[in-house]
């Protein structure tokens, strides 16, 4: 970490204790042409890591620290992400690199002039992209892990869709896991453009008439990460591209998204990472206006009666950005 960023970290820690920078890249704060600049220099290979990892999510940490420093000190920083190095030679790492660049594209669209993205050219989306489809309807039992148990409970017990916080509007029954891997021309291992394994949104549904499509990124109390932000934004951006006709294929969920007039993305969690939410305030206040023409963003809070056990909605802590 560059020592010139220490003061920013200290300012944020005064209000949000114990949060840290990812142990990757070079972080700096300086004045340039009369404006405060927060800069992150990342090696290109960072983009080949898992999208939810702290390393790959480092540009989103920069957003968070910039937002909170501005809230606490009025610094109004220009955010700059500079990527150094060459794209990976390994094909599979290249798929992850592509997905990370989609996340950076959404970040740039949301932040506009608040962000300078340097060192990587604009992402070229291939023509005739195809989305994969689920091979079968996901069961409501089996599987392991707290997040899986929450998924199945929310889908199996229909009352949770019926009693969701009012900011959602009425919901149709909630469905499990929407595949969002992308392929060039046809769904085939040799045509892969973004990662296939694990490339799926947790939960989805529509309004009863299909006017709105709702995508949910589910997190347990033990899995509140900043990486949830690029994950949700990337999936929403893929569905937005599908709405525009740039991506074909997919199953029932993808077609529902194409037919909807509005895409809505929600974090569904007992709590968010402290950098993502403080006292009903969030860095999404910077992102949401730039993305509003395309998608809506929000947070749906719930209480757990036990780890992996959905207890009740918490509408007083839920909000749309």
Looking at the structure of the chain, the number of domains it has is 2
Q: How large is the C-alpha radius of gyration of the chain?
A: 19
State whether residue 244 is helix, strand or coil.
coil
| Cα–Cα distance measured from residue 78 to residue 32, given in angstroms and rounded to the nearest whole number | 9
Looking at the structure, tell me whether residues 172 and 307 fall in a common domain: yes
Provide the pLDDT for residue 164: 95
pLDDT of residue 143: 53
Can you give the residue range of the structural domain that contains 261? 129-320
Residue pair 207/261 in contact (Cβ under 8 Å)? The answer is no
Show the CA angle centred on residue 258, arms to residues 126 and 245, nearest 5°: 30
What is the distance between the alpha carbons of residues 23 and 156, in angstroms, rounded to a whole number? 40
pLDDT at position 141 over 60: no
Region 161-172: mean pLDDT is 95
Judged against a pLDDT cut of 90, whether residue 49 lies above it is answered with: yes
In a domain, 124, yes or no: no
Higher pLDDT, 143 or 298: 298
Burial 262-291 (b: 16+ CB within 10 A, else e): ebbbbbbbbbbbbbbbeeeebbbebbbebb
Residue 142 has pLDDT above 70, yes or no: no
57 with 200, same domain: the answer is: no
Q: Which range, of 61-65, 95-99, 145-149, 213-217, averages the lowest pLDDT?
A: 145-149
Whether residue 198 sits in one domain with residue 171: yes
User: What is the reported pLDDT for 223?
Assistant: 86
Whether residues 24 and 105 share a domain: the answer is: yes
Exposure string over 30-44, b if 16+ CB within 10 A, otherwise e: eeeeeebbbbbbbeb
Q: What is the pTM of this model?
A: 0.95
Q: Within 10 Å of residue 113's Cβ, how many Cβ atoms?
A: 7
At 197-228, the pLDDT tens digits run 667 899 999 999 999 999 999 998 888 899 99
């Amino acid at each position: 970490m560059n020592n010139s960023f220490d003061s920013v970290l200290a300012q944020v820690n005064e209000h949000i204790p114990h949060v840290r920078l990812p142990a990757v890249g070079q972080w700096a704060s300086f004045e340039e042409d009369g404006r405060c600049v927060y800069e992150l220099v990342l090696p290109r290979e960072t983009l080949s890591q898992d999208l939810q990892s702290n390393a790959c999510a480092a540009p989103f940490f920069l957003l968070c620290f910039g937002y909170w420093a501005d809230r606490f000190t009025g610094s109004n920083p220009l955010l700059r992400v500079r990527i150094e190095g060459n794209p990976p030679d390994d094909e599979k790492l290249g798929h992850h690199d592509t997905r990370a660049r989609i996340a950076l594209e959404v970040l740039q669209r949301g932040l506009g002039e608040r962000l300078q993205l340097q060192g990587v050219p604009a992402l070229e989306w291939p023509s005739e992209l195809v989305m994969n489809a689920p091979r079968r309807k996901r069961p409501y039992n089996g599987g392991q892990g707290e997040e899986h148990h929450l998924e199945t409970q929310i889908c199996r017990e229909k009352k949770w869709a019926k009693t969701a916080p009012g900011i959602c509007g009425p919901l149709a029954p909630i469905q499990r896991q929407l595949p969002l891997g992308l392929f060039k021309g046809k769904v085939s291992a040799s045509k892969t453009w973004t990662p296939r394994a694990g490339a799926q949104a947790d939960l989805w549904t529509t309004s009863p008439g299909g006017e709105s499509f709702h995508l949910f990124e589910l997190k347990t109390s033990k899995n509140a990460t900043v990486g949830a932000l690029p994950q949700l934004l990337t999936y929403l951006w893929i569905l937005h591209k599908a709405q525009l006709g740039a991506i074909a294929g997919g199953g029932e969920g993808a077609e529902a998204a194409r037919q909807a007039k509005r895409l809505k993305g929600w974090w569904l969690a007992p709590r968010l990472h402290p950098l993502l939410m403080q006292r009903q305030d969030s860095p999404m206040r910077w992102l949401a206006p730039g993305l509003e023409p395309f998608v809506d963003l929000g947070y749906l809070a719930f209480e757990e009666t036990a780890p992996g056990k959905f207890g009740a909605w918490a509408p007083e802590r839920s909000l749309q950005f």
